[in-house]
A and B are shown apart, each in its own frame.
Chain A
Amino acid sequence: MATRTIVEAPGVARRRRLDETYIGEWLMTTDHKKIGVMYMLTGFFFFLAGGLEALLIRTQLAVPNGKVLSAEIYNQIFTMHGVTMIFLFVMPTLTGFGNFIVPLMIGARDMAFPRLNAFGYWVVLFAGLFLNSSFIFGAAPNGGWFNYAPLNELTTACGNAVMCTPGMNEDFWLLGILLLGISSIAGSLNFVVTILKMRAPGMTINRMPLFTWMTMVTAFLLLFALPSLTAASVLELLDRHLGTHFFQAQFGGDPLLWQHLFWSFGHPEVYILILPAFGMISEVLPVFSRKPIFGYTFIAWSGVAIGFLSFTVWAHHMFAVGLPPIAQAFFATSTTLIAIPTAVKIFNWIATVYGGKVSLKVPMLFALGFIAMFLIGGLDGAALAVVPFDYQVTDTYFVVSHLHYVLFGGTVFGIFAGFFYWFPKISGKLLDERLGQVQFWLMLIGVNLTFFSMHILGLLGMPRRIYTYPGDLGWNELNLLQTVGAYMLGIAIMVFFWNLIISLRSGEPAGNDPWDAYTLEWDTTSPPPHYNFPVVPTVRSRRPYYDKKNPDIADWKTATH
């Protein structure tokens, strides 16, 4: 059990140990805060890599019959763009936030398994380097981020596919994914145990912050979804290296087996990518509206509902593969159902803003932008559940539009909301407000400029994953527009990194509580000391720090939870 109260005592003069050198300190750390920072730095580094890949794609597609990238290179770039953004940017960054913030939020001194925590991080770093080293061999994965069989068993430029010797490309994907799965499982175990067993006295499940709730649901999703992906990857490695035939039709196997296994992971995965962002904005909106989150119970439990339902919808990624109509009707129904808890959350967030005292600082701008953009992504996701319509637009730019609205307009905006909100706590300095505003508006306009007209391209018949297109199909202007938007997003990211650098160097000191916030992480110094809290607090409501600052109108006096 954690030490209740800590008093620092002076040290003794002696030789420095390895873990007290600067490098040693980071290589050997098990402190959740340092590990969180490393996750976030790694995540943002791969955000740049994935963003560069995106700009290459858009430059190639800016004009018809583009000659910027060959077909072979383009196919590697678009595959790695997806893999990098999902597995090397979003997941590590969200894990980083979870790592840094969740123990502080629940009043704990660290995660339940500190060494396992560090292990999870190092695996991510090595896996990311391993995956990207494939470029050096000219053999980056090129089967798409979901790597369908039997294309994933084959090499690149080969006509009669089955008769070719496999190239290394997909092996990098498979091995990288296995490593990342190990890391995610380690991290998820840690989150589940920490959240269930290490909350401060008085913090019942129904009093813990929503970011913690969403992180916990995400951790359970990872634990139950990753086995499918791991199984699929192992079966695929066996097919490629040990002569089995799981996915090879001519020997009695079935390519669709890969799709079912992959999407059984892949669908929960997309909720894994968004739920922590839901949690982040559920923290930002109340603080910047100066009132509690509206409908805490409904938001928390709709997160759980989404978690359960996410395992029942996977074949909506497979409506065109020839499943029987009854099965398709089932998945259309389950997909429709999962839209309901999502809608409930959106309404609760808006109700939090309504009637409040809205301060439009940068974290709030991103949180509000999140709602606006995620609504679009959610609506066209619901449209994709309309099976006959999906027959037309699946595998086209309509889907590319949907996924980028929810991932960029959703998760990335959520990440920036969280980053601008918690950066003062992590570093002790404030990010520049004006640069943040510039970044926000560039991103809001850029996202819509880049991704909205992709809906139209899908309706105009443009399939996904094509390295070029002819000039006489009416797709030229929209593609050019989207490339301009993508460069605008690139500029916005540059503004962000500039902001980060100058704020780290000479940002305004933040103090403990720059936003007058409500949760426990603000009740300690910025950055927090090694042991987080001198005294482990006792919690009496959902807004323990608000209660402490406002004892007369504390929540535990007025609300019944």
Chain B
Amino acid sequence: MRMPYFRGMKRWIIPVVLLSSLLFAACGGNSPTILNPTGPVSSQEANLFWFTLWVATFVFVVVEAVLIWSIIRYRERPNMPQPKQIHGNNTIELIWTVAPSLFLFAVLAGTIYTMFNLQNISGTGQRIEVKAVGHQWWWEFDYPNQNIVTADSLYIPKGAVIQVDLLSNNVIHSFWIPSITGKTDVVPGHVNRQVFRADQIGEYRGECAEYCGTQHAHMNFNVVVLDQNAFNTWVSTEQKAAQNPTDTLALQGQKIFKTTGGCTGCHGIVGVDLNSFTSDKTTSGLPTTSLVGPNLTHFGERDLLAGGVLLSSNGKDWAEDPACQLVNGKLANKDSCSLYQWLHDPQAVKPGNDMVIGSLTDDQIYALIAYLESLK
């Protein structure tokens, strides 16, 4: 009878290696890891993970060790007698029913304690209320108290309590920012509320975490945590209606934008085809009109588009993206400008999305890029 290959000490290597690989998750690097928390919600959730991991590892090591030892110690050898035909032992059954129960209830206590703690998040400054609307397949962010509507990027001030009400008029999505908070589903007909606080300035990845159709994989968003002053500046910029451009090419772009059957069929810009940010929404915040695309009023200030599937090339705003700078009314290398790629063929970038447009000529696209970059 062939003996198993991993005997004795070597067997310990396998569980040790497997478990220590979990530590990779803490490094993360560029990953949206849950183990580098930057707010009280995610840090409480991460702490529970570490506690559970210790308990689980302890149980795993002990039980696997007993199993492996039993196999090795009692493996069949020549002339080994028939073993004692033991049917059971009630005392030991009691012990090993009670012991795991104690571990499990300890973890359960931690669970319930944290659950109720998470109900009370406090912060400094003004509480920011946001309505996050899940579309197929992009995120819209409305700030009812500031009278702003934006998309793809969620700007919040550091240290304040953020209250996000989740809305959908299509399918179920899920709002998740791994480094800041666990996820909450966005269910049509319900208004789920996620409350959190971000304690570190920076940009963090957000994701849709409930399968919502073809392009679920490309429904991400960006959370930009600013200090209070920078946030206030952002708010006041966003609150203004769009200015008419001065540049000729940008004016041409605006004309294309406003053409009947053109972009205004799906996109709103305050001052162009919208009177105010909320003139096309119900009181709850869901869209009432056919304006199914994102509000583009201050598009030039953003750095993400199409549900996060395209980013500006240097992490800065579209207005300053070097790959999308027009020289003499043209792009030097059009294929390296994501905005060009999107306007040229949105279906090739994100198959199945709602932006189904006829082909635009390169000149038309350059004019539109000029216009969109002017929307600051």
Contact with A along B38-82 (1 / 0, CB 8 A): 000010111011001100100110011011001100111000111
Is B205 an interface position by the 8 A CB rule?
Answer: yes
* Residues of chain B lying within 8 A (CB to CB) of residue A453: 21
B100: nearest residue on chain A (CB-CB)?
A343
> CB distance A291 to B86 under 8 Å?
yes
* Residues of chain A lying within 8 A (CB to CB) of residue B35: 459
Q: Of B48, B184, B192, B215, which contacts A388 at CB under 8 A?
A: B48
Q: Of A322, A459, A473, A474, which contacts B192 at CB under 8 A?
A: A322
Complex: A376 Cα to B61 Cα, angstroms: 10
Stretch of B246-254, B294-302, B332-340, B346-354 at the chain-chain interface: B346-354
Q: Of A250, A294, A474, which contacts B30 at CB under 8 A?
A: A474
> CB distance B108 to A333 under 8 Å?
yes
How distant is A339 from chain B, measured CB to nearest CB, in Å? 6
A361: nearest residue on chain B (CB-CB)?
B1
Is A391 an interface position by the 8 A CB rule?
Answer: yes
> CB distance B183 to A395 under 8 Å?
yes
* Residues of chain A lying within 8 A (CB to CB) of residue B18: 448, 452
> CB distance A386 to B52 under 8 Å?
yes
A474: nearest residue on chain B (CB-CB)?
B31
> CB distance B67 to A465 under 8 Å?
no
Q: Of A344, A347, A469, which contacts B217 at CB under 8 A?
A: A469
> CB distance B48 to A355 under 8 Å?
no
* Residues of chain B lying within 8 A (CB to CB) of residue A472: 30
Q: Of A70, A158, A368, A388, which contacts B71 at CB under 8 A?
A: A368
Query: By CB atoms of chain A within 10 A, which of B49, B71, B92, B93 has the most?
Result: B71
> CB distance B75 to A358 under 8 Å?
yes
How distant is A111 from chain B, measured CB to nearest CB, in Å? 30
> CB distance B28 to A358 under 8 Å?
no
B212: nearest residue on chain A (CB-CB)?
A151
> CB distance A463 to B208 under 8 Å?
yes
How distant is B230 from chain A, measured CB to nearest CB, in Å? 25
Complex: A291 Cα to B87 Cα, angstroms: 8
Complex: A297 Cα to B90 Cα, angstroms: 10
* Residues of chain A lying within 8 A (CB to CB) of residue B352: 71-72, 156-157
> CB distance B33 to A460 under 8 Å?
yes
Q: Which A339-369 residues sit within 8 Å CB-CB of chain B?
A: 339-340, 343-344, 346-348, 350-351, 353-361, 365, 368
Complex: A162 Cα to B74 Cα, angstroms: 64
Q: Of A355, A391, A559, which contacts B45 at CB under 8 A?
A: A391
> CB distance A461 to B178 under 8 Å?
yes
> CB distance A463 to B64 under 8 Å?
no
* Residues of chain B lying within 8 A (CB to CB) of residue A333: 108
Stretch of A15-23, A377-385, A483-491 at the chain-chain interface: A377-385
> CB distance A329 to B112 under 8 Å?
yes
Complex: A347 Cα to B62 Cα, angstroms: 11
Number of interface residues of A (CB under 8 A): 108
Complex: A332 Cα to B112 Cα, angstroms: 8
* Residues of chain A lying within 8 A (CB to CB) of residue B264: none
* Residues of chain A lying within 8 A (CB to CB) of residue B71: 353, 358, 360, 368
> CB distance B169 to A250 under 8 Å?
yes
Q: Of B3, B185, B292, which contacts A321 at CB under 8 A?
A: B185
Q: Of A348, A392, A467, A559, which contacts B49 at CB under 8 A?
A: A392
> CB distance A395 to B64 under 8 Å?
no
Q: Of B25, B76, B187, which contacts A460 at CB under 8 A?
A: B25
Contact with A along B2-45 (1 / 0, CB 8 A): 11110000000010001001101100111111110000001011
Q: Of B70, B110, B216, which contacts A353 at CB under 8 A?
A: B70
Contact with A along B166-189 (1 / 0, CB 8 A): 000111101010100111110111
Complex: A483 Cα to B83 Cα, angstroms: 44
> CB distance B188 to A148 under 8 Å?
no
> CB distance B52 to A160 under 8 Å?
no
* Residues of chain A lying within 8 A (CB to CB) of residue B82: 290, 357
> CB distance B216 to A356 under 8 Å?
no
Is A328 an interface position by the 8 A CB rule?
Answer: yes
Q: Which B231-290 residues sit within 8 Å CB-CB of chain A?
A: none
Is B88 an interface position by the 8 A CB rule?
Answer: yes
Stretch of A222-230, A251-259, A306-314, A525-533 at the chain-chain interface: A251-259
Q: Of B42, B213, B217, which contacts A468 at CB under 8 A?
A: B217
> CB distance A320 to B185 under 8 Å?
yes
Q: A144-B211, A351-B92, A474-B31 are in contact. Are A340 and B76 (CB under 8 A)?
A: no
> CB distance B31 to A375 under 8 Å?
no
Query: By CB atoms of chain B within 10 A, which of A156, A162, A365, A463 has the most?
Result: A463
> CB distance B216 to A296 under 8 Å?
no
Q: Of B56, B74, B182, which contacts A358 at CB under 8 A?
A: B74
Complex: A437 Cα to B1 Cα, angstroms: 11
Q: Of A256, A358, A460, A468, which contacts B70 at CB under 8 A?
A: A358
* Residues of chain A lying within 8 A (CB to CB) of residue B326: none
Stretch of B114-122, B145-153, B154-162, B368-376 at the chain-chain interface: B114-122
Is B207 an interface position by the 8 A CB rule?
Answer: yes
How distant is A286 from chain B, measured CB to nearest CB, in Å? 10
* Residues of chain B lying within 8 A (CB to CB) of residue A456: 21-22, 24-25
Is A5 an interface position by the 8 A CB rule?
Answer: no
> CB distance A461 to B84 under 8 Å?
no
> CB distance A255 to B172 under 8 Å?
yes
Q: A368-B67, A389-B49, A473-B30 are in contact. Are A356 and B74 (CB under 8 A)?
A: yes
> CB distance B189 to A385 under 8 Å?
no
How distant is B41 from chain A, measured CB to nearest CB, in Å? 8
Q: Of B28, B169, B178, B187, which contacts A392 at CB under 8 A?
A: B178
How distant is A320 from chain B, measured CB to nearest CB, in Å? 5
* Residues of chain A lying within 8 A (CB to CB) of residue B361: none
Q: Of A298, A368, A395, which contacts B88 at CB under 8 A?
A: A298
Q: Of B64, B111, B207, which contacts A372 at CB under 8 A?
A: B64
Query: By CB atoms of chain B within 10 A, which of A332, A371, A379 has the most?
Result: A379
> CB distance A382 to B74 under 8 Å?
no
B68: nearest residue on chain A (CB-CB)?
A372
> CB distance A292 to B86 under 8 Å?
yes
* Residues of chain A lying within 8 A (CB to CB) of residue B76: 357-360
Q: A298-B93, A460-B32, A468-B217 are in contact. Are A386 and B110 (CB under 8 A)?
A: yes
* Residues of chain A lying within 8 A (CB to CB) of residue B53: 383
30 contacts between A and B (CB under 8 A): A75-B213, A150-B170, A150-B171, A151-B172, A158-B213, A159-B135, A161-B171, A290-B82, A291-B85, A291-B86, A320-B184, A320-B185, A322-B185, A336-B105, A336-B107, A336-B108, A340-B101, A344-B100, A350-B70, A358-B71, A360-B75, A383-B52, A386-B49, A392-B178, A448-B14, A455-B25, A459-B22, A459-B33, A461-B205, A464-B211
Given A151-B213, A354-B74, 10 other A-B contacts at CB below 8 A? A71-B217, A148-B210, A332-B108, A336-B104, A344-B96, A388-B118, A395-B209, A434-B2, A555-B85, A558-B85
Closest 3 CB pairs of A and B: A391-B182, A249-B189, A159-B354
